Amino acid sequence: MDIRYPGGKKYQVPKLETSGQKDYGNRGMTFEEDINESNKYYLANGIAVIHKKPTPIQIVEVDYPKRSAAKIKEAYFKTPSTTDYNGVYKGRYIDFEAKETKNKTSFPLKNFHEHQVIHMKNIIRCGGISFVLIRFSTTDEVYFLDGNMLLKFWERMKAGRRKSIKKEEIVQFGYSIPIGFRPRIDYIRVIDSIYKEFF
């Protein structure tokens, strides 16, 4: 299967969110970094514009000193009501969440907040493309799981059954994404192959 990317022009790359993380020592690239690098690649090559949303924060106290930047002195992390990544590919709305687990045989659904799952449902109803990227960190495997499939496993949990997705179910219903060089995690390739009727 060929991937046809629209246009071919180089864009000026805006500075991207890095979530304040800077130093990874010898740990290599994190999953989030891999995704951000992939998004930078898509952006620089005019393929897609996908950004990670800033972490939602509740600000309580801000100091406005003279002659220097406003300093936030008290704030708290808020539970996100949406997914972390969204943007545009060929005019379509793209929306996803990225999660990793150290588990070897299953992916625990407690990795998602109820709000995020409701958000995914809303996105799908409005014609957007919703999915999750799941990384099994011990084996460095990444899977693409369509939002509709995630909703099914979520419903199964709400019905009082499994609180996780078996790895073999992810293998069966998801799509394995080999780790590449550029882009590191080519999820657009999966979108191209499974949502053909959308474009």
**Which residues carry a binding-site annotation for Mg(2+)?**
82, 84, 97, 116
Number of residues binding to its own copies, judged by CB under 8 A: 55
Non-local (6+) Cβ contacts of 1 within 8 A are 192, 193
Residue with tokens 């801000």: 62
Q: How far apart are CA 27 and CA 166, in angstroms?
A: 27
| Closer to its own copies by Cβ: residue 40 or 99 | 40
For the segment 51-110, give every residue that binds its own copies (CB under 8 A). 51, 53-59, 69-77, 81-82, 86-95
* Residue 8 near its own copies by CB under 8 A: no
CB of 26 to its own copies, least distance (A): 23
The sign of the CA dihedral 157, 161, 166, 168 is negative
For the segment 126-185, give every residue that binds its own copies (CB under 8 A). 126-128
CB of 151 to its own copies, least distance (A): 13
| Closer to its own copies by Cβ: residue 29 or 60 | 60
Cis peptide leading into 183, omega within 30 of 0? Answer: yes
Classify burial at 156, counting beta carbons within 10 Å of its beta carbon; exposed 0-12, middle 13-18, buried 19 or more: middle
| Closer to its own copies by Cβ: residue 169 or 186 | 186
Q: Which stretch binds its own copies (CB under 8 A): 31-39, 48-56, 132-140, 154-162?
A: 48-56
Q: Which stretch binds its own copies (CB under 8 A): 3-11, 28-36, 135-143, 180-188?
A: 3-11
Q: How far apart are CA 141 and CA 118, in angstroms?
A: 27
Non-local (6+) Cβ contacts of 76 within 8 A are 57, 58, 60
CB of 192 to its own copies, least distance (A): 14
* Strand extents, DSSP E, 3-121: 48-52, 57-63, 71-77, 85-89, 92-101, 106-108
Binding site for its own copies (CB under 8 A): 6-7, 9, 11-12, 14-17, 20, 43, 46-49, 51, 53-59, 69-77, 81-82, 86-95, 115, 118-119, 121-123, 125-128, 198
